[in-house]
Amino acid sequence: MRTADVSHVLRTRLARAAGWTAAFYLMVLPLMGPRRGLWVALAVLVVQALALAADRVPPASRERFAAALRGGGRCSVWMEHCPAWVRTAAPSALLLALAIAGLGMSPYTLDVATNAGIYVLLALGLNIVVGMAGLLVLGYIAFSAVGAYTYAILNTQFHLSFWLALPLGGALAACFGLLLGLPTLRLRGDYLAIVTLGFGEITRITLNNWNSLTNGPNGILGIKPPSLFGFTFSQPKHYFYLLLGMVALAAFFSRRLERSRLGRAFVAMREDETAAESMGVPTLRLKLLAFTLAAFWGGVAGVLFASKQLFVSPESFNFLESVMVLCMVVLGGMGSVPGVILGAVLLAFLPEVLRGVAEYRLIVFGAAMVLLMQYRPQGIWPSTRRYEEFRQEA
Amino acid sequence: MLELSGVRANYGAIEALKGVDLEVKKGAIVTLIGSNGAGKSTALMAVSGLRPLSSGRITLEGEPIDGLPPEAIVARGVVQVPEGRRIFTRMSVRENLLMGAFLRRDRDGIARDLARVLDLFPLLRDRLKQNAGTLSGGEQQMLAIARALMGRPRLLLLDEPSLGLAPSMVKAIFDIIAEIRTEGVTLLLVEQNVNRALRIADDGYVLATGAVVLHDTPSRLLQNEDVKRAYLGDE
């Protein structure tokens, strides 16, 4: 390449970098004001400079770097090759380690970990319908709202025990899932996503306006914490162990489902619906089942949420929460149980870790998501299937 | 065993089948030949319940099966090997085979059939754990047939099993079809390899623009001037 060409390329690059920087500055201006906005502009400029520098790297090494990032998702493949006893023992060992670690955690860490546990439940539930069956559901948090309000209302009005509310909230959410699924599961992907998004919003708006039942935007106060044989859950560590147990249960359930005839059929349906049908898979019924199972776990997570917060209000169940749970599933690795757990824990902890940068949190968060999806579209810990899929495409 | 009478089916405004009459006798290999768009695949999809009829009747051993959902038809022992194989590429070979037995609950029987199918297709044995998408075209076709056999079919519907395969693979596939017949399975075979199909079949139908235009014994069809000209070229 001649020098004139190089300088021409450089000029256009610089002009583009300047353009992006200005655009970002204007975008964050109303949010952050002129001075703090400059920091964002500076960050954008740095990213641009890094991109320019990356272009100088010979394509071969860049390709190697990208391949290393993509290939890093071998965890599941690697696990497959582990001896059987390692595979069976690893989850129990991890559980035990977490239980012991819980003894030494500060109340703050325990609290964050408990919240992460609730997210793990939600993500595992959503993974059944999105990751396994391949149906895009956007308003998932609504099922959690059903569970949370079930416990809130029945506990404050009728003193229903937490242990009864747990399956009941799940079952009620499952009923909502069934009712929503019956008319909508004939829809194709994008339409299903829109309808479920609408359902999520309708649920939130209903909770917000049905004053006589839900106390509207003020929410429901005075929920009793769970108790067991006279022992009352009152400290963060109590909830931590409760959630740890529930997560273990949900993970075990997910794992069993994945390996079962039913889980296989979910995946087959996602792969090729017509082929699955010609094998005798009743696709409509199975989609409904996936939907109902996901809703059930959403409801269970909701009951736990209400029992921990001791307060519920509609704003806890906004659209962003649904998006967050979806991000956890996609980021961790759709259809992979360990991946989804990892994704949920990471995304639940990330805002806490980023507390130092206060209001830039969302920007850093967004940047992290974009980078991850750019370099690891299969997720952090993809299932063997997804790993193969992306390797073949690469 | 299987009888189609006056079967019509539409794709929107287009009539793909315009009153098809066809009979498959128990234990026979019946082949359905014809050019692209003649309605061969549609006829198979209609039998499997994947394509609804607009009129007509399909009976299996005297009982009507049209209008039943696909899973009910599979449950009655009618299994299709779809065109283009349509295996589950991101599932392992083993999982694919187990999907074929989706409607069965007899664990022992499934295990026995898995062993039997692997005897029939030895090359699948070494690849049980492999992702099905990594198999070659011929191996994928073998897997598609093996998967269908896992459903214990009494009637196997094969849609273009030799399409796009190397000649040696085509021979292997037809050898297997012959072997499946000796196990008492009835076969309805749609093929573009007319020559081979007619040499293996007991009965032949020629389909053109959605209707049966010829029905005869394969040996007579092979001598038929129209068939020779249209489907056999200058062999």
**CATH code of the domain covering residue B137:** 3.40.50.300
Q: What is the structure's pLDDT at B175?
A: 93
Which domains, ranges and CATH numbers included, belong to chain A?
Answer: 3-56 (no CATH), 82-393 (1.10.3470)
Is the pTM higher than 0.90? The answer reads: no
Q: How many domains does chain B have?
A: 1
- Identify the domain containing residue B216 by its residue range: 2-232
Q: pLDDT grade, residue B229 (50/70/90)? A: confident
Per-residue pLDDT of B138-186, as tens digits, reads 899 999 999 999 999 999 999 999 988 888 899 999 999 999 999 999 9
- Who among A261, A280, A384 is closest to B74 (CB)? A280
User: Which tens digit of pLDDT belongs to each residue from A323-333?
Assistant: 889 989 988 88
pLDDT for position A67:
66
The pLDDT of residue B15 is above 90: no
pLDDT band at B60; cut points 50, 70, 90: very high
Cβ pairs A/B, distance under 8 A: 74
From the list B70, B89, B91, which residue is nearest A278 (CB)?
B70
CA distance A364 to A366: 5
* List of chain A residues whose C-beta atoms are within 8 Å of the C-beta of residue B71: 277, 280-282
> How confident is residue A74, by pLDDT bands cut at 50, 70 and 90?
low
Q: What is the pLDDT of residues A6-65, one digit of tens each?
A: 677 778 878 877 887 888 788 777 766 777 777 777 877 777 777 777 767 777 776 776
Give the mean model confidence (pLDDT) for residues B30-42: 89
Question: Mean per-residue pLDDT for A187-195?
Answer: 82
Looking at chain B, the whole-number percentage of residues with pLDDT higher than 90 is 67
Mean pLDDT confidence for A193-206: 92
Question: What is the mean pLDDT of the segment spanning A154-174?
Answer: 94
Q: How far is A61 from chain B (nearest CA, A)?
A: 28
Across the range A168-189, mean pLDDT stands at 89
Mean pLDDT of A119-128: 96
Nearest to B99 among A268, A274, A282 (CB): A268
Search chain B and give the residue with CA nearest A279: B100
What 3 state SS string does chain A have? CCHHHHHHHHHHHHHHHHHHHHHHHHHHHHHHHHHHHHHHHHHHHHHHHHHHHHHHCCHHHHHHHHHHHHHHHHHHHHHHHCCHHHHHHHHHHHHHHHHHHHHHCCHHHHHHHHHHHHHHHHHHHHHHHHHHCCCCCCCCHHHHHHHHHHHHHHHHHHCCCHHHHHHHHHHHHHHHHHHHHHHHCCCCHHHHHHHHHHHHHHHHHHHHHCHHHHCHHHCECCCCCCEECCEECCCHHHHHHHHHHHHHHHHHHHHHHHHCHHHHHHHHHHHCHHHHHHCCCCHHHHHHHHHHHHHHHHHHHHHHHHHHHCCECHHHHCHHHHHHHHHHHHHHCCCCHHHHHHHHHHHHHHHHHHHHHHHHHHHHHHHHHHHHHHHCCCCCCCCHHHHHHHHHHC
pLDDT of res. A71: 58
pLDDT, one tens digit per residue, over A289-338 is 999 999 999 999 999 999 999 999 999 999 889 988 998 998 888 888 99
pLDDT(B53) > 50 = yes
User: What is the model's pLDDT at position A351?
Assistant: 79
- For residue B83, the chain A residues in CB contact (below 8 A) are none
Q: With an 8 Å Cβ cutoff, is A334 touching chain B?
A: no
Residue B235 banded pLDDT, cuts 50, 70, 90: very low
Interface of A with B in 118-177 (CB under 8 A): none
Mean pLDDT of B18-37: 91
Asked whether the predicted pLDDT for residue B87 surpasses 60, the reply is yes
pLDDT in tens, A338-354: 999 999 998 888 878 77
Q: Is the pLDDT of residue A394 over 50?
A: no
A391 touches chain B (CB under 8 A): no
The pLDDT of residue A76 is above 90: no
As a whole number of angstroms, the distance between CA B202 and CA A177 comes to 52
CB-CB neighbors (< 8 A) of B133 in chain A: 388, 392
Question: Given pLDDT bands bounded at 50, 70 and 90, which one contains residue B61?
Answer: very high
Residues A239-256 have pLDDT tens digits of 999 999 999 999 999 999
